[in-house]
Structure 1
């Protein structure tokens, strides 16, 4: 039995919850995937997967086993790629995940220049707000907003990700410019929907952070749509400064300053972070991409 191949099949089935999707990923019949894993189970003397006609999932023993072997398989893949690219031009497929708004506005222009500099690297870019696990999801680099992550992930801060209230001059002339957190209750709020829920506005009062009671007039998971509504004088948005700065410059939107801070979180060191695994940084395609993007996207270089 080729145990390494069986382990690779097991990881893919566990991640996709499907023999057929795992088979497509490896370009082999689903029966081959099932047979290899069955042989692995026989050699271990345990059942790794619960199988039904409709679903497949890890058993408790399978989950524990996979937790132990997954890091080793990832390190083996990294070692193969590192040796394969030793003393060669950076090449291969580079998988990047980024937030849609940030990705469209800032990352993609940078990647166009990166692609011209490193034509042997194939860029595979996924724009999504969903959380990723770098090792498990086969992502080389992720760009996410929030507080600095812990764990084994290396986080390079690109931007403080300061949130700003904004509206069109015409809207403010018609509805009045809010000066306090309480004033926001009388305005139309254009609100962002995150992966799990609508993002509430948080204000810092004398008694600490608390949710600001606002009236939603429009909700979307697309920041560009919220900005478009604001530019059409439909209400106030609370978005990252990097998403609004061009509209401020052109006079289409106007920043609103209150007497107390307002944001989408309750304190802590927030920011836009470039994330990667230290073990993969040694791979040339990952290393050159990390350094290029940090230099290009850092707020200090803007």
Structure 2
């Protein structure tokens, strides 16, 4: 019953059997069997299914809070039993935003699970802002300021941005010597509020608000990184996003003497965020410690 409830809640969260399967490491056919099992148990249809989407039924809507409470109680019991012998075990539900998750977290998971064979991980890689308490998420890897006093954070990566372009682009279009010269360049920007129109520069006591424009905007940084590597234009991204391109020569830093931000307010680093009362779980502590140990940079920079 517990596994079926976990699967059903994940389907609701992910929006489809295939997406839930990717998070849980299960085939869609296995997901379907668990849902069928749950519906037989309650003698009720809990999901409306079409070819591409699933929606919750009225009966399913009533089950949601009970299912969430059951999963939370089960995970708490797992955590308390594991604490007795301090060996990491049980299920860890982890949420991480896409660009960082695909590039850095996904490659680290197999080695962690090999080191701690009694731990299971349900990994949700998406740019959705999860509610750790309501969705029973153990760990969220995210940027920004904590909005909930019950949350705690451990810094993983600093929030420094740098301006980059490919050597090929700079050879064709010239290297801007001052931020004001960006006006004549194709700037690849993040599509979030005013981040599409200005970048902000600081050098000692001088500050600049520079208008930028170009032919590519994206909600996440990954498309901008790839386009810059291909010579499309100039972009400003967090240092961890462009580290590989700088190291292998696909990208070149511009304005190294200036501090840059794509927002008017200060940028924030990446944190491992968790509920205060869950940190006693050995599995959670072990995973956070593992990230700090295994990531190829620290909280102060690359």
Per the normalisation by structure 2, the TM-score is 0.70
User: Matched residues in 1 for 2:153 and 2:144: separation?
Assistant: 11
Aligned partner (choices 218, 221, 226) of residue 223 of structure 1: 221
Q: Distance in 1 between matches of 2:238 and 2:136?
A: 28
* Distance (whole Å) between structure 2 residues aligned to residue 250 and residue 79 of structure 1: 46
Give the Cα separation in 1 of the matches to 2:206 and 2:58. 50
The answer to whether 1:98 aligns with 2:108 is no
1:29 has 2:39 as partner? yes
Unaligned runs of 5+ residues in structure 2 are 16-30, 45-55
1:151-300 matched pairs, under 5 angstroms: 151-193=149-191, 199-200=195-196, 201-204=198-201, 210=209, 212-221=210-219, 223-257=221-255, 260-268=258-266, 270-297=268-295, 298-299=298-299
Q: How does 1:45-194 map to 2 (within 5 A)?
A: 76-85=73-82, 86-87=84-85, 89-147=87-145, 149-193=147-191
Q: Post-superposition shift, 1:301? A: 9.5
Task: Report SS of the residue matched to 1:215.
Answer: coil
Deviations 1:27-72 (CA, angstroms, capped at 9, x unpaired): 53399498xxxxxxxxxxxxxxxxxxx9769xxxx9xxx8xx9998
Q: 1:264 to 1:74 in 2, by over 3 A?
A: farther
Gaps of 5+ in 1: 35-53
Q: Which secondary structure state, in structure 2, belongs to the residue aligned with residue 155 of structure 1? A: strand
Q: Is the 8 A contact 2:199 2:212 kept in 1?
A: no
Q: Would you say the 8 A contact 2:75–2:90 is kept in 1?
A: no
- In structure 2, relative to structure 1, the CA distance for the partners of 1:225 and 1:95 (3 Å cut) is same
Distance of 2:190 and 2:301 partners within structure 1: 28
Q: CA RMSD in A?
A: 4.2
Greater Cα radius of gyration, structure 1 or 2: 1
The C-alpha deviation readout for 1:155-177, integer Å capped at 9, x for no partner, is 11111121111001121122122
CA distance, structure 2, for counterparts of residue 213 and residue 203 of structure 1: 9
Matched residue SS, 2:131: coil
Q: CA deviation at 1:126?
A: 1.4
Is residue 78–residue 283 contact of structure 1 (8 Å, CA) maintained in 2?
Answer: no
CA distance in 2, matches of 1:143, 1:151: 17
Q: Counterpart of 2:26?
A: none
Aligned partner of residue 29 in structure 1, secondary structure: helix
> CA offset at residue 89 of structure 1?
3.6
Check 1:27–1:70 CA distance in 2 against 1; reply closer, same or farther (3 A cut).
closer
CA spacing shift, 1:26–1:97, aligned 2, 3 Å: farther
Question: In the comparison of the two structures, how many residue pairs are matched?
Answer: 267
TM-score (norm 1): 0.70
Q: Distance in 1 between matches of 2:267 and 2:220?
A: 24
Inter-partner Cα distance in structure 1 for 2:40 and 2:114: 39
- Is this contact kept in 1: 2:151–2:276, CA < 8 A? yes
In 1: Cα distance, 2:68 partner to 2:98 partner: 29
Could you say what secondary structure the match of 1:116 adopts? Answer: helix
Q: CA 1:269 to 1:184, structure 2 compared with 1: closer, same or farther past 3 Å?
A: closer
